[in-house]
Amino acid sequence: MLDILAITFPIYAAILIGYGVVAKGWFSGADMRTLGTYVLNIALPALLFKAVASRDLNEIFHPGYIAVFLVGGLATILVAYLWFTVTAPDAGRRAVATLGSSCPNSGFIGYPVMLLVFPDLAGVILALNFLVENIVLIPICLILMDWAKGGAHAGLGVRIAMLLWGLVKRPMVIGLLLGLVVSMVNLPIPPPALRLLDMLAASAAALSLVVIGGSLVGLPTKGNRALAGQIAVGKLVLHPVLVGLALLALPVAGLAVSPDLATAAVLSAAMPMFGIYAVLAQEQGLEGLASLAMLIATSAAFVTLSVLLYALT
CA 72, CA 243: separation in Å to the nearest integer?
A: 4
Residues 6+ apart with CB under 8 A from 266: 240, 243, 244, 247, 308, 312
Q: In this model, does residue 222 exceed pLDDT 70?
A: no
- Percentage of residues in the chain with pLDDT exceeding 70? 96
What pTM does this model have? Answer: 0.89
Q: Confirm if 231 and 293 have CB atoms less than 8 A apart.
A: yes
More confident: 150 or 47: 47
CA 110, CA 274: separation in Å to the nearest integer?
A: 10
pLDDT value for 89: 77
3-state class (DSSP) for residue 184? helix
- Mean predicted confidence (pLDDT) in 229-241: 97
Q: In this model, does residue 151 exceed pLDDT 70?
A: no
Residue 58, Cα to own-chain centre: how many angstroms?
24
Q: Confirm if 284 and 95 have CB atoms less than 8 A apart.
A: yes
Q: In this model, does residue 132 exceed pLDDT 80?
A: yes
Phi/psi class of residue 162: alpha, beta or left (left: φ > 0; alpha: ψ in -120 to 50)?
Answer: alpha
Q: Confirm if 101 and 239 have CB atoms less than 8 A apart.
A: yes
For 58-67, write each residue's pLDDT tens digit.
888 899 999 9
For 262-284, write each residue's pLDDT tens digit.
999 999 999 999 878 887 888 78
Amino acid, res. 241: V
For 15-53, write each residue's pLDDT tens digit.
999 999 999 999 998 899 899 999 989 999 999 999 999
